Amino acid sequence: MGGSAVKGVVLCGGQGKRLRPLTFYFQKSMIPIGSKQKPLLEYIVRLMAHHGIRDLVFLVDYKGEQVVNYFDDGSRFGVSIQYVWDDPKYPGNAGALLNAYLKGAFKGAEDLLIYYGDILSNLNLSDLVERHRASGAEATIALSQSYMVSVGVAEVRGGRVVRLQEKPPLGKPVVIGILALKTRCVEMVSEIAEKKGKADIMGDLIPLMLERGLRVEAYVTDAFWYDVGSIERYEKLDPKLVDEITAFLFSK
């Protein structure tokens, strides 16, 4: 399923302010997880390789040297990695995409599989990309229906609390930080950058695509996913769970 028609793009340039003080020392995608204490980014690379996505582009900036030094050309993991350093002229994660696009990093790729570098998942990336292509969509966004609200929710009638539910399911699909995108759509980011300066994929690019009537598909999944992007979330991530969920990535 891999090949030049699809490139895996990992957003791994953010400062990770919600993970401080860890990110004073680590690039956020390089924080160690699981009992193996391997970088989060290695799990992402292994997941892409497992699904035949072996042509990767890393969008790096803050402490990007850590990423380059660890992964090098990617051959140790059976992939090929190209690095594109963010340009301050194009701020935001969509700006980083545009910068890489303008530098020719996506040449030869009809589709991009974009993966946020602070997300751990066992999502079936092959199926996501295949569904994206089969539908003819410009973008296909992975969504989860299993997100739990982090606070208790009360049902109130006539001023009285009649029901209290601790951390219930949200009941609506939530974005999990993985999507497939037609490469040509990256050009639209330039319009956003001209108007707003900073450009965000989910906050700006996808809304503009919807506004233009472009087809954006939902890929609803019950796959495991975990946002490791804050100290609280990182501390709650059980190493044993990481090992169980990702065991297939390390089996020979």
Q: What is the mean pLDDT of residues 94-118?
A: 92
pLDDT classification of 1: cutoffs 50, 70, 90: very low
Give the model confidence (pLDDT) of 56-69 as tens digits. Answer: 999 998 888 999 99
Phi-psi region of 158 (alpha: psi -120 to 50; beta: other; left: phi over 0): left
Does residue 2 carry a pLDDT above 50?
A: no
Give the model confidence (pLDDT) of 170-211 as tens digits. Answer: 567 777 889 999 999 999 998 888 888 888 898 899 899 999
pLDDT value of position 111: 93
Q: What is the mean pLDDT of residues 1-25?
A: 79
Give the model confidence (pLDDT) of 72-87 as tens digits. Answer: 999 999 999 999 998 8
Does residue 39 carry a pLDDT above 90?
A: yes
Share of the chain above pLDDT 90, in %: 44
Does residue 42 carry a pLDDT above 90?
A: yes
pLDDT value of position 174: 79
What is each CA distance from 39 to 19, 33, 36, 67, 203, in whole angstroms?
A: 14, 6, 9, 9, 27
CATH topology assigned to domain 6-145+172-249: Spore Coat Polysaccharide Biosynthesis Protein SpsA; Chain A (3.90.550)
Does residue 149 carry a pLDDT above 70?
A: no
Instruction: Please give the Cα distance from 137 to 216 (Å, whole number).
Output: 6
Beta strand spans in the chain (E): 6-12, 32-33, 38-39, 55-60, 80-85, 111-116, 119-121, 139-144, 153-157, 160-165, 174-182, 216-221, 225-227
pLDDT value of position 70: 93
pLDDT classification of 99: cutoffs 50, 70, 90: very high
The average confidence (pLDDT) of the chain is: 86
pLDDT value of position 170: 54
pLDDT value of position 11: 93
